[in-house]
Structure 1
Amino acid sequence: MAIQKFVDRDEELKTLERLYNRPGFTLVLVTGRRRIGKSRLVREFLKGKKAVSVQFEKRVWEYNLDKFNRAIAEYFGIPHPGFKSFTDAFRFIVSQTGERLVVFLDEFSYLLRYSEVEAEFQSIVDEVLRESNVMLILSASSVGLLKRSFFEYSSPLYGRSDATLNLQPLRFGHLFEWFEGVSPEDAVKLYAVTSGVPRYLEMFQGKDVDNEIRSNFFDPNSFLFREAKELLEEEFREPETYYTILEAVAREKTRVNEIAQSSYLEPSKVGRYLRVLEDLGILKRELPVGRKAKRGIYRFKDLYFAFWFAFVAPYFEEIESGFPDGAFYNFEEGFNRYLGFAFEEIARQSIIEMNRKGMLPFRLTELGRWWYRGEEIDLVGLNGREKKALLVEIKWKDLKRRELERILRDLERKASLMDLKGWEVQFGIIAKSAEPIEGGLVIDLDGLREAWGAGG
């Protein structure tokens, strides 16, 4: 396992420091999917600061209260205090210190399963801590529970937080920082199976990537083999339904009716499940950029889940029983095609990064996919004010001059199908590798690496 690095959390640390330097009680929520690095972020922030820190477990609330008691005893250097409620524990903390003190309750969502605890924390926030100098940081992996507790109007804790940090996976470019000396092609493969989730990146060394993928996903004793299944069972009351929906999307069923039919659900009911998966960042709903459309399509946003449902889920029982041959064959036959799908997300992130750095022909204000009546363009970037458009085709291929010219001509044809009369239209190609060519923006893997500021 690689040593975990702390990458790309500068803005979150700045926000926490700004709130820490503000006097008075402060309540901060840190959320994001499991393994995203919430605990690591807060631990980095707490370095050199006075803090009471405890990580709750999936146990009864009395057990977690006892853990909190032990953390208080350790910080204040006292015998186990034996507080019978969280309210009494916080009253003691406030009575013992007037200086800035951070209280970090990690995996707070395990307490939110108990309605009486949720109501108790309303009283703690409103009455016990309101006039204190405590900075209370609550971390939660169960995004659904956190939203119900802090962002639904009927909840006792609604509107109490001062800030919410919703951690996202690392972006593609940060893999060059994580894996020193990694090749751009291997970086694409690593991102395609981890989606930039720090805990998953720890499983790889970036040296022999194809074999590392095999050992991490097709060994029944490996962490990543079971992770997706366990996450669904942890997060949802109906994991089987969500599992079936994700299987459908993995089979390229992207429209609501298609997903419903493949999942044995009524179309009127499947929408609720899709919205939950969208909220959790596993799926994303797409609408064609540049034209009005009511019905979008659903695709994987989380590439770890995309890979897992494409290559592990269909062979889960066989792998578990020690017979992974079918999974290996499917991986060897289909991985390159899957990389074409993942490369679209990597290219999208790279275009956003280039736009941020002013590396494109003009500033984009809108970016997305476009499709209409069987025609599609992988990326369309628009600037409506200046009436400029950039149409980009993404190919996980080694492209020669003749094929590049053909793709550019086809993009010109597709542009005529769009409502771009009076617009300045430019064309681009992002490819695995490409020969130099005139008349279009052509970026290969080395160009993407340079765009992220990670020279070879």
Structure 2
Amino acid sequence: MADTVFTGRIEEIKELNALLKKKSASIVAVKGRRRVGKSRLIEHFAKDKPFLKFTGLAPVDGMTAQDQRDEFARQLHQQTDLPQISTDNWSDLFALLAHEARSGRIIILFDEISWMAMGDPSFLPKLKNAWDNNFKQNNKLILVLCSSVSMWFEDNILSSTAFFGRISWELQVDPLPLVDCNALLEAQGFKSSALEKFKVLSVTGGIPWYIEQMQGQFSADENIRRQCFSPGGVMVDDFNKIFHDMFERHDYIYKKIILALAEGAIDYDEIAKRTEYSKSGQLSKYILNLEKAGFITKDTTWSLKTGKELSLCVYRLSDNYMRFYLHYIVPRVEHIKSKRLRELTLSSLPGWDSIMGLQFENLVISNRHELYKLVNIAPETIIYDNPFFQRQTTRQKGCQIDYLIQTKFNTLYLFEIKFSKNPVKFSVVEEMQEKIARISLPRNMAVLPVLVHVNGVSDKVETADYFHQIIAFGDLLDG
């Protein structure tokens, strides 16, 4: 991607720039979902600085650890004046690189380090020794370690005794916020309405690589048909590539968990039931791995009376592409391959409105910091915020709120996040009144309902003056 269309990541760049002022060398561990733009961020950060990038080879049948060493040697030769060597020892390669980077400001990126280390258990211990004995002697050196295989990265880098006390900064690269998604769409020439932009983002989420595939000369529907329902579309098979690269032999159980969550948030017991997998530490580990990979989110609820977190929780598929893929691409793969869906009417797909509702909720909830600004809440005054649910008991009714903010000023902001391709009807007021009536409210608690919509509200909703605030999706896009 050309540097001119690099969008956002202001906070991440600030965090990285702070390391330039250190008086010692740094290791930076960068984590985040595949396609989220981790290496692109580092390239942008290093654009005006001496920079060396090394990328591991994607694993295929028959690949060996020697192939990885040879590729590293080739990349080292290509980027420096050093001759290309052949060695069966990573220590030799690290020593050459460290000598090349022995003084002055330099940034080194090991991209897809899990692939680089494949097949050679000595890779990480030798890298640790090279850091201790060579790399860190240059106090202006920054070594960036990056991988999309979150489980490997957690076990072998972040939680490894070998790197304990050596990592200067952990950088989490999340999907782009909506304001940056909007800027990236417009940089692609896509300058349509908020509804059209929502349609695109309902499929891509905040993943920059997906957004970059959308072209301004096409409508939202045309872009989605091209990328999701045409044989050449990059989103037709990216799901399988992600799971193969990340989870390898166990990808089937991870896919079953994702599929179980595709219809909406559910609890642990329901995941076990739908996946037909026994409730165990192993299932919990699989779920946690999907959380760390950025595909699912654990939503906890809390006591409105005490402000304390409860043990109740549900898991939500927070990756929009994955839900869209499971609902609408996978069942039609053969039709896609045979080019039968090029003129598909998206709104005719089964359950379209309800799935768009889930996608809309994901986008809004993942941009909660923009909501704080729009309703004028200082983040430090928030006791708790999240999707809220209350289990039915003999003393209280069951209730679910799309998103709720509780502040220390005894105020609750209840958000109704409503997708509709038409202006939202007055029934939304009645629905919200019913939800509020079901909540077990502490005394002296003020309740302020807020409506978030994508394509307008009816005059009756406006004139009712029921909602404390009505927020349009366009407001979130504009920041």
- TM superposition score normalised by structure 1: 0.88
Other-structure match for 2:448: 426
Q: AA paired with 2:182?
A: F
- 1:353 positional shift: 0.9
Q: Compare 7-16 and 432-441 and name the one that shifted more.
A: 432-441
Residue 142 of structure 1, CA deviation: 0.9
Match for 1:17: what amino acid?
A: N
Q: Is 1:219 aligned to 2:230, yes or no?
A: yes
1:205, CA displacement in angstroms?
A: 1.9
Correspondence for 2:386: 368
Shift of 1:364: 3.6
With over 3 angstroms needed to count, the CA separation of the structure-2 counterparts of 1:331 and 1:366, relative to structure 1, is farther
Corresponding position of 1:232: 243
The one-letter code matched in structure 2 to 1:426 is L
- What secondary structure sits across from 1:386 in the alignment? coil
Q: Which residue of 2 aligns with 1:125?
A: 131
Gaps spanning 5+ residues in structure 2: where?
Answer: 393-397
Q: Distance in 1 between matches of 2:409 and 2:430?
A: 28
In structure 2, the residue matched to 1:11 is: 11
Cα gap change, 1:346/1:441 in structure 2, threshold over 3 Å: closer, same or farther?
Answer: farther
Task: State the partner residue of 1:449.
Answer: 474
Amino acid at match of 1:40: R
Could you say if the C-alpha distance between residues 331 and 361 of structure 1 is closer, same or farther in structure 2, counting changes exceeding 3 Å? farther
Question: Secondary structure, in 3 states, of the residue corresponding to 1:179?
Answer: helix
Equivalent residue for 1:386? 409
TM-score by length of 2: 0.84
Query: Equivalent of 1:105, from 101, 110, 119?
Result: 110
Give the partner amino acid of 1:279.
K
Correspondence 1:262 to 2:274: yes
- 2:195 is aligned, of 166, 176, 185, to 185
Range with bigger deviation, 367-376 or 160-169: 367-376
Contact 2:264 2:358 in 1 (8 A): no
Residue 319 of structure 1 aligns with which residue? 336
Counterpart CA distance in 1 for 2:128 and 2:276 is: 41
Pair 112,443 (structure 1): closer, same or farther in 2 beyond 3 Å: farther
Aligned residues of 1:2 and 1:203 also touching (Cα < 8 A): no
Change (3 A) 1:52 1:85: farther
1:339 equivalent among 339, 353, 356: 356
In structure 2, relative to structure 1, the CA distance for the partners of 1:293 and 1:121 (3 Å cut) is: same
Q: How far apart are the structure 2 equivalents of 1:2 and 1:219?
A: 26
Match of 1:165 in 2: 171
Q: Secondary structure at the residue paired with 2:417? A: strand
Q: 1:204 aligns with which of 202, 214, 217?
A: 214
Q: Distance in 1 between matches of 2:327 and 2:348?
A: 9
Using a 3 Å threshold, how does the CA distance of structure 1 residues 4 and 310 change in structure 2: closer, same or farther?
A: farther
Tell me the SS of whatever aligns to 1:390: strand
Equivalent pair of 1:151/1:159 in contact (CA under 8 Å): no
CA, structure 1 residues 21+69, in 2 after alignment: closer, same or farther (shift >3 Å)?
farther
Matches within 5 A, 1:44-63: 44-58=44-58, 59-63=63-67
Q: 1:246 aligned to 258, 272, 282, which one?
A: 258
Identity score, percent: 21
| Corresponding position: 1:138 with 2:138 | no
Deviation at 1:170, TM superposition (A): 0.7
Residues 182 and 289 from structure 1, CA distance in 2 versus in 1: closer, same or farther, beyond 3 angstroms?
A: farther
Structure 1: unaligned runs, 5 residues or longer: none
TM superposition shift of 1:200: 0.7
Q: Distance in 2 between matches of 1:400 and 1:449?
A: 15
Amino acid at match of 1:380: L
C-alpha separation in 1, matches of 2:347 and 2:271: 23
Distance 1:208 1:35 in 2: 23
Runs of 4+ in 1 over 6 A off after TM superposition: 1-4, 325-330
TM-aligned CA deviation for residue 345 of structure 1? 2.2
Shift of the 246–74 alpha-carbon distance from structure 1 to 2, 3 Å rule, reads closer
Please say if 1:283 is aligned against 2:296. Answer: yes
Change (3 A) 1:86 1:426: same
> C-alpha separation between the residues in 2 aligned to 1:246 and 1:146?
21
Cα deviation digits, residues 366-417 of structure 1 (max 9, x gap):
211222334222111101x221111121211345674354245334423xx3
TM-superposition CA deviations, 1:118-157 (whole Å, max 9, x none): 221121122222323332112211111111112325x433
Residues 311-348 of structure 1: per-residue CA shift (max 9 Å, x gap): 12233355345555999789633222211111112332
Mapped to 1, the partners of 2:3 and 2:213 lie a distance apart of 9
> CA distance change for structure 1 residues 326 and 317 in 2, over 3 Å: closer, same or farther?
farther
> 1:343-362 alignment to 2 at 5 Å?
343-356=360-373, 359-360=376-377
